[in-house]
Chain A
């Protein structure tokens, strides 16, 4: 096959001749509009339209790959809001049974043996034994029942002694308490549910990291870190001493070893050919989002569609290793006895920080007994205790040692404070006031949500963040943009147009340097051929010029103020590839 010489197109590849690659020898030509404008050497550029959308991005990621993909923004992607109630309930139950179950029996002096459990073994008092540990003290409080209550040193001390003497055949003081509180003699004064409520509301909800309702926001970063991040998140914050003790490594495996996250995303980014007239061909990336509900997303996720998002290999029953702490007030908080109304609103205990032990106990009692109405009467003695909406009035024969009227939760709070500090000798406190802070180290406490439930629970949360997630990942799409003067794309009517750049196309913070945007019919840029508003095209932000078959000559100026003549050569039919011969104006 014989071919001729390469036309008259000069290239700098040929040895022994001049010229520049992709240049045609039209230097010194004048315009074709009757103007005397002179133009330099033309350079040839090819601009193409690619109609094919980028293939969907299908990701099947293990735990490490998820961590790699999301990086730091994993801490901004909320997986779910975990109801803390089950976790608190499970935690309290574990604490209550840390030293055995004998307290559930009708015994004045139940046997505690904290060595029975791993949790109990972690209790260490000053002697090195659990027996003089503050944690054991709290266990005793939580397991206090009418049967085993010790009210020495409280305002009920006299009542207890008298009632045991007078009411020995009627159940004694334990029976009196059970009747007064309307609970069984072996039932805890404060039920787990009410303590949980108190802790959730007062200990958790007062922490800045905890949501209303005591819900814990679990972020992707938490799950990827096996919840270790909760130690920091739920640690001390401002005045709040923290829910969790910060020096203990929290651990809770959400993603199992076979975890896999499957995501299919459709990129809305379209890379368009453009021209930086003073430099070279370039590219600009724009968002083409026709999916909704928002129309400026860099990518489309559908986390509600199991075919496009799923998580497998989650821990079927995630548990949590943690250490939580409760601090007591440095002072003994006596029961308020002024009046029911006053004590309900102004009682000393209610002025304490909500997260302190005394407040927590009082609140749990209030929560449990605020509607308690009981009357305990005995033959010959008449009404001994009369409780109206939790306000207890006592009637002791001859008034000997008769305690003042008070709310039962304040009464319980006094008992709890006493028991907390006096473990052995009723005359000598084991702990001084303010030193009975407790910390419980628990392992594998069920979180209250299964792996399967988690896999589904995350969907609405992620879907709500779909737009944000797209931004987290692809929001920097302008970083790789070239500083083109215009680019080639279809307008929304499907017709290929040259789009002159607008400030919105540019990287944030970059100044817009074009003073005469658009395409003109004359070298002096007076006769604008392009328009921002064109029939049938909804987009109105850009100066646009439709491309038609054949050769079109237009003029434009770049951001350096140089005017160029553009010979645009487009083929017949759909011009998905055009050639632009650009020559700078040389006569100033």
Chain B
């Protein structure tokens, strides 16, 4: 395979990677003219030196500028945390709920109605047009405050919200947000448990990557816009979001590392040239001293992150969705609302009422006339099934049929949502809010990031390698020796066949394709008897094909162009070098 010529100019910052060791002089390798391909039958000697520079507790500080200089793919793939959205949503809803009257008047009618719904209490509820209206008229005629009756039914105070902000929030989060694919799965590394690279997002959370943080959450509206789901097209829930106040310009991440900072020396068989392979990846499991509470520090996060402007949307169904009329199917009844997509307003309403009324104890409330004749009775059972009874014979009074609490409120909610003459399907809700707190402190975010990284340091591999960027050339294999003082069974000289993870990645993807048909080292030219293995755990590595060699050994290897070479291990010139005679045999 023909390759471009490669310039081996390795400034120290690359040679020693992101550790930027100031105590080692920059190593300069003179430019070499591109070598010719090894011809069939030609033999070339390659000498490889094993360089080792172990550092411990070295702190690397990455500023926002440092991070922004990294490839976007690296930033976007580095998942930091799943940000629980419940606080943000609760803050947004609270802001809508408590909006001053002068600003309410400027809201779209549907949003105003939504706000009204959120503020409904037994004291201020307008039951006009609902099945409860006549019952309330009866209550007024007999001197019973309707607010008291409603409050008693739902076991709340008369100025207490019928649907608490917590229930409101939970329903919106679980219905509108949790049903969006972007809050269900995120891209992550492929491993045995995640063969497709799909990782589950924590419930009701937004996966946040380093790219989100560094780029101030641009692209969030796209990620959480319309998306296909099993229920149809999710309309998305953030129509607009800008001005995330999360990171400041002085943002910086500092990590401590323990590792061999130098790359591994290897060979590009094509021309027998020397190459370097970033060593970070192979050490990543042990690079970070996660037991040290200060192994990762993040500074420059806004203490109380917020979004300066966001527009939340919720659509309603185009039809009036009736409440249920039967207890079955238990425990929620037969309202068509339960069959709606989880993000639609009517579905969210029944969910929120179900949440809000879950703690209402079974009880019966009866109001009697002076002669003890029951004028009005409401019974709510442990499943929130409400049965109404009232004086018979009252003209115009249609006693509401038994229903679940959410069926009753669903009707009320839909009627109120369309106040002002809105027709069915015209009450899609959109409201823009400003300066909405995320509801999670910077400290909490940092804590989550630290914990997540500690649990899975592999996630940092791309970042670490991108920062070191000391892969040079196109090594097919490299020379490795164990750390001095390690187990005796690992001692010796090892040849490691490169893996896909050894190929550096930038915004255009991997620097080269990993096209090896038969990775590994073989005993025969036909590559039928593999000498190397990935099974052997050498210093924690189980991903590379590796083989221990000694002078006099003969191996066969195939490069990514399908050429086969014989490697004859020659005598060592020094303890940390190895000499290989490479002959192209095919």
Contact = CB atoms under 8 A, between A and B. Distances in A.
B434 A271 contact: no
Nearest to B435: A5
B141 A480 contact: no
A51 to B, nearest CB: 13
Interface string B353-397: 000000000000001111111000000000000000001111110
A269 interface: yes
B437 A472 contact: no
A7 B158 contact: no
Nearest to B157: A280
A1 B394 CA distance: 46
A60 B395 contact: yes
Nearest to A57: B141
B98 interface: yes
Given A13-B98, A476-B368, A58 B158 contact: no
Nearest to B147: A283
A56 B372 CA distance: 21
B434 A280 contact: no
B97 A13 contact: yes
Nearest to A73: B371
A241 to B, nearest CB: 34
A58 B91 contact: no
Contacts of A34: none
Interface string A45-60: 1100000001111111
Specify which of A471, A475, A480 lies most central, judged by the most chain B CB atoms within 10 Å of its CB.
A480
A65 B393 contact: yes
- Secondary structure of the A contact surface, majority rule: mixed
Interface in B297-346: 304, 309
Interface stretch (A14-22, A156-164, A179-187): A14-22
Interface string A444-480: 0000000000000000000000000001111111001
Contact of A267 (B142, B371, B393): B142
A60 B393 contact: yes
Given A70-B373, A280-B157, A271 B143 contact: yes
B94 A11 contact: yes
B86 to A, nearest CB: 8
Contact of A4 (B86, B90, B434): B434
A424 interface: no
Given A15-B90, A474-B142, A480-B144, A3 B107 contact: yes
B100 interface: yes
Given A22-B159, A65-B392, A70 B371 contact: yes
A9 B98 contact: yes
A478 B372 CA distance: 14
Contacts of B574: none
Residue in A13, A65, A68, A69 whose Cβ sees the most chain B Cβ within 10 Å:
A13
A58 B394 contact: yes
A6 interface: yes
A66 B367 CA distance: 18
Contact of A15 (B138, B142, B433, B437): B437
Interface string B83-102: 00011001101111111100
A68 B391 CA distance: 8
Contacts of A285: 143-145
B141 to A, nearest CB: 4
A1 B100 contact: no
A3 B433 CA distance: 6
Given A46-B124, A281-B158, A285-B145, A473 B395 contact: no
Contacts of B439: 15-16
Contact of B106 (A1, A72, A271, A283): A1
B495 to A, nearest CB: 57
A66 B393 CA distance: 8
Interface in A72-117: 72-73
B103 interface: yes
Nearest to B433: A3
Contact of A62 (B95, B111, B142, B393): B393
Nearest to B368: A476
A208 interface: no
B368 to A, nearest CB: 7
Contacts of B95: 5-6, 14
A3 B111 CA distance: 11
A3 B106 contact: yes
A281 B392 contact: no
B159 A3 contact: no
Residue in B106, B158, B393 with the greatest tally of chain A CB atoms within 10 Å: B393
B143 A480 contact: yes
A13 B169 CA distance: 10
Interface in B371-425: 371-373, 391-396
A5 B434 contact: yes
B562 interface: no
A224 interface: no
Interface in B103-151: 103-104, 106-108, 111, 123-124, 137-138, 140-145, 147-148
A306 interface: no
Nearest to A261: B393
B371 A473 contact: yes
A473 B142 CA distance: 8
Contact of B393 (A4, A14, A59): A59
A504 interface: no
A13 B90 CA distance: 7
B394 A3 contact: no
A508 interface: no
B142 A269 contact: yes
A167 interface: no
A1 B111 contact: yes
Contacts of A4: 100, 103, 434-435
A57 B159 contact: no
A60 B87 CA distance: 54
A538 to B, nearest CB: 23
A282 interface: yes
A397 interface: no
A71 B98 contact: no
A298 interface: yes
B99 A3 contact: yes
Contact of B437 (A14, A68, A280): A14
A572 interface: no
Most B Cβ at <10 Å: residue of A3, A65, A69: A3
Nearest to A17: B437
B393 to A, nearest CB: 4
A60 to B, nearest CB: 5
Contacts of A5: 95, 433-435
Contacts of B147: 283
B431 interface: yes
Interface string A568-586: 0000000000000000000
A307 to B, nearest CB: 14
Contacts of A540: none
Interface in B263-293: none
Contact of A58 (B94, B396, B441): B396
A535 interface: no
B373 A6 contact: no
B221 interface: no
Given A267-B143, A280-B158, A13 B94 contact: yes
A351 interface: no
5 contacts: A13-B98, A22-B159, A46-B124, A71-B369, A472-B370
The 9 A-B pairs at the shortest CB distance, nearest first, are namely A477-B143, A61-B393, A6-B98, A269-B143, A58-B395, A475-B370, A283-B145, A65-B393, A476-B370
Interface of B: 86-87, 90-91, 93-100, 103-104, 106-108, 111, 123-124, 137-138, 140-145, 147-148, 157-159, 165, 304, 309, 367-373, 391-396, 431-435, 437, 439, 441
Given A6-B95, A65-B393, A476-B370, 19 more contacts: A1-B106, A2-B309, A6-B99, A13-B98, A14-B95, A15-B90, A15-B94, A16-B439, A22-B159, A54-B141, A58-B395, A61-B392, A70-B373, A72-B372, A269-B143, A280-B159, A282-B158, A473-B373, A476-B369
